[in-house]
């Protein structure tokens, strides 16, 4: 089972971010930290564990947010589309929490606040069938898991999170990194998970994570890369999630200010956002 987390958006604060000026070929370029400019702390989630977190880890989280485009850009982002492993394509309206998911001829539409929606197969409503009920029951967990794999760097200071700086480390490829441990308290679908987030000390981009299914585990269940960063709208997203061997990626990434009328509620598979 893949790790899943739960989180929502924050209220805006303006941050000008020099990272937005980087060209589309940013990918894995090593950008000096000085290009971030002055890093402004962004508001933490209401129940972020500020007392249990240490100052250096929190400062690194602020730098990551700024390197990814900044708090204001993240807050103002609207529609995010991506293909998760297994040809699952979804679009999340970050402002309304509407969510759309499709795979083959299956379509799921709903709202994450109300946790209600509709399930369709070949354009026909199957919400009352066993298959449809299962899709609807799992809608929130599907969104939480699939979006976590794409958007984790924006969520380092969410409610229920505790951050601890573990010191310098190295990625699987031997690159230097700053390691931040991320644990959870009474939040999300799998609160017993633990992550080690490896941050590039020059770019302040997350370059790798190590996932521990149980916080007490001595060894991670896996380590995966965060690379191939590119700008989408006003934020950066990374597509590569390889463990160094399997070449796994999140495909069809897109950020849009609007979608065609009826797109989010359509019972039939729709074209992917561009």
Tell me which range, 16-30, 32-46, 71-85, is most confidently predicted by mean pLDDT. 71-85
Mean pLDDT confidence for 206-229 = 97
Give the pLDDT mean for 73-100: 98
What pLDDT was estimated at residue 192? 85
pLDDT at 2 over 50: no
Model confidence band, residue 217 (pLDDT cutoffs 50, 70, 90): very high
CB atoms within 10 A of CB 233: 19
Confidence of residue 4 (pLDDT cuts 50, 70, 90): very low
pLDDT for 1:
40
Report, as an integer, the average pLDDT of 184-193: 78
d(CA 51, CA 118): 42
11 pLDDT more than 80: no
Residue 273 has pLDDT above 70, yes or no: yes
- Model pLDDT, residue 188: 66
Distance of CA 216 to the CA centre of its chain: 24
Phi, psi of 252 (to 5 degrees): 55, 45
Q: Between 171 and 30, where is the model more confident?
A: 171
User: Lowest mean pLDDT: which of 7-21, 72-86, 102-116?
Assistant: 7-21
Q: Tell me the average pLDDT of the chain.
A: 89
Give the per-residue pLDDT at 109: 99
Mean pLDDT of 177-190: 87
pLDDT at 77 over 50: yes
What share of the chain in percent tops pLDDT 70?
86
Give the pLDDT confidence score for residue 233 in this predicted structure: 97
Confidence at 5, pLDDT banded by 50, 70, 90: very low
> Average pLDDT in the 120-146 region?
98
Model confidence band, residue 15 (pLDDT cutoffs 50, 70, 90): very low
Buried b (16+ CB within 10 A) or exposed e, 82-103: bbbeeebbbbbbbeebbbbbbb
Among 27-31, 68-72, 79-83, 212-216, whose mean pLDDT is lowest?
27-31
Distant-in-sequence, close-in-space partners of 210: CB < 8 Å, separation ≥ 6: 195, 196, 198, 220, 222, 223
Q: Which domains does the chain have, with CATH numbers?
A: 46-256 (2.50.20)
**The pLDDT of residue 36:** 83
Q: What is the pLDDT of residue 191?
A: 72
Q: Residue 120: which H helix or E strand, with range?
A: strand 116-121
Query: Which pLDDT value is given to residue 24?
Result: 36
Mean pLDDT on 63-81: 98
As a whole number, mean pLDDT of residues 61-85 equals 98
Residue 260: which residues within 8 A CB-CB, separation 6 or more?
none
Whole-angstrom Cα distance, residue 136 to residue 239? 27
pLDDT of residue 114: 98
């Amino acid at each position: 089972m893949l790790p899943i987390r739960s989180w929502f958006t924050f209220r805006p604060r303006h941050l000008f971010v020099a990272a937005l000026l980087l060209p589309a070929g940013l990918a894995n370029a090593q950008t000096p930290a000085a290009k971030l400019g002055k890093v402004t702390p962004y508001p933490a989630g209401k129940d972020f564990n500020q007392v249990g977190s240490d100052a250096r880890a929190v400062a690194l989280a602020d730098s990551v947010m700024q390197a990814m485009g900044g708090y204001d850009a993240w807050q103002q982002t609207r529609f995010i589309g991506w293909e998760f492993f297994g040809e699952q394509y979804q679009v999340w309206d970050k402002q309304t929490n509407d969510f759309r998911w499709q795979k083959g001829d299956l379509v799921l539409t709903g709202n994450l606040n109300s946790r209600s929606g509709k399930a369709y197969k070949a354009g026909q409503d199957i919400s009352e069938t066993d298959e449809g009920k299962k899709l609807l029951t799992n809608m929130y967990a599907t969104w939480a898991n699939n979006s976590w794999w794409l958007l984790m760097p924006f969520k380092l200071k969410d409610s229920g999170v505790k951050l601890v700086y573990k010191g310098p480390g190295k990625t699987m490829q031997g690159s230097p990194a700053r390691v931040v441990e991320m644990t959870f308290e009474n939040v999300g679908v799998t609160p017993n998970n633990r992550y080690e987030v490896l941050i590039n000390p020059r770019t302040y981009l997350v370059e790798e994570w190590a996932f521990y299914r149980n916080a007490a585990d001595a060894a991670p269940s896996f380590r995966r890369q965060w690379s191939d960063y590119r700008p989408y709208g006003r934020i950066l997203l990374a597509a590569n999630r390889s463990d160094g061997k399997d070449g796994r990626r999140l495909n069809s990434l897109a950020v849009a200010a609007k979608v065609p009328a009826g797109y989010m509620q359509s019972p039939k598979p729709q074209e992917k956002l561009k």
